Amino acid sequence: MIDVKSGSRPTKDIFVFLEVFSGEGGIQSYVKDILRTYGNLVSSNKARTADIFLLRDSRGCINPLDDRPLAKPSPLTFYYLQTQPLWLGRIRLAATLLIQLLRERPDRVFCGHINLAPLIRILCEPLGIPYTVLTYGKEVWDPLPKLHRDALQQAQSIWTISRYSRDLACRANQLDPQKFQLLPCAIQGQLFTAGPKPPHLIAKYGLEDSKVLMTVARLWSGDIYKGVDVTIRSLPKLLQKFPDVKYLAIGRGDDRPRLEKLAKDLGVADRVIFAGFVPDEELPDHYRVADAYIMP
């Protein structure tokens, strides 16, 4: 997927994303893993570097991968392009990216979202620069607008997280399955290990003597397919057979008030704990609290 080769002149890659460090979510976590792994791969081989363009991230966001103030230079250079109004940010991205393409003639451009693919195609094709489009899931499962579909079809390669996602995207948008490269989601195995339930979290959430179901997801009204509401609706029946069950929902978003009302209306508000946002470094302990992870 990414060939790390030696040579006298460093090879440049360019990544372009909507947003990585200003919000939380599955895509953001996945992209951070990609960038972290890329940096690790090339840090010992100065033959390859990358420029990272971030449309909706600002310079003030917390980016643990941007270590330019440190003595050791990073192979990753970040460009924060958040601008108001949003349409002006896209113009700024297009202009900055075009200048960089003309100046650097990168080996490849990695387009981090289907909504950016038409722009990447317009800029890259006349210059003969190959581009790869990163896809994640449901954003490519249904028929796309023509500009987006054409940009996918003309990409040299497409990354996706699973065969399931690849097959749905191909059927919906007439894509060549041979163009796809699978890049599954992964975890840091040395961090997410089995262990006893942490007593401080049991006490914090009132989970003593409980069987715990858990979901980690953004509670966003535009992304309800994670099934938090489905789980809440199932609790009345579950409690008839398993009276000690509680449901721990980790994440924040604008859908939380609706979900809280749903739990109250069903009479299970005392069985649903909305934990809110939990930092990545605290997630392993939270997973140890759960008896079962659920995402119907």
The percentage of residues in the chain with a pLDDT greater than 90, rounded to a whole number, is: 74
Residue 71 pLDDT exceeds 60: no
The pLDDT, as a whole number, for residue 257 is 96
**Fold match, 11-182 / 199-293:** yes
**pLDDT tier for residue 68 given thresholds of 50, 70 and 90:** low
* Domain boundaries along the sequence of the chain: 11-182, 199-293
Q: What is the CATH number of domain 199-293?
A: 3.40.50.2000
**Contact of 158 with 135, CB cutoff 8 Å:** yes
Please give the DSSP secondary-structure letter assigned to residue 122.
Answer: H
CB-based burial, 193-228: b 16+ in 10 Å, e otherwise: eeeeeeeebeeebebeebebbbbbbbbbeeebebeb
Choices 3.30.70.660, 3.40.50.2000, 3.40.640.10, 3.30.70.141: CATH for 11-182: 3.40.50.2000
The pLDDT, as a whole number, for residue 45 is 66
- Where are any strands of DSSP class E within the chain? 11-17, 48-54, 76-80, 108-111, 131-134, 157-160, 180-182, 211-216, 245-250, 272-276, 292-293
Residue 49 pLDDT exceeds 60: yes
**pLDDT tier for residue 6 given thresholds of 50, 70 and 90:** very low
Dihedral angle sign, alpha carbons of residues 108, 113, 116, 117: positive
**pLDDT tier for residue 11 given thresholds of 50, 70 and 90:** confident
Strands of the sheet with 157-160, listed across from one edge:
76-80, 48-54, 11-17, 108-111, 131-134, 157-160, 180-182
Please identify which residue in the block is written with the tokens 């796309």: 144
**Contact of 250 with 293, CB cutoff 8 Å:** no
Please identify which residue in the block is written with the tokens 């699973």: 162
The pLDDT, as a whole number, for residue 187 is 81
The better pLDDT of the pair 68, 271 is held by 271
Question: Taking residues 200-217, what's their average pLDDT?
Answer: 96
pLDDT digits (tens, 9 = 90+) for 96-153: 999 999 999 999 999 999 999 999 999 999 999 999 999 999 999 999 999 999 999 9
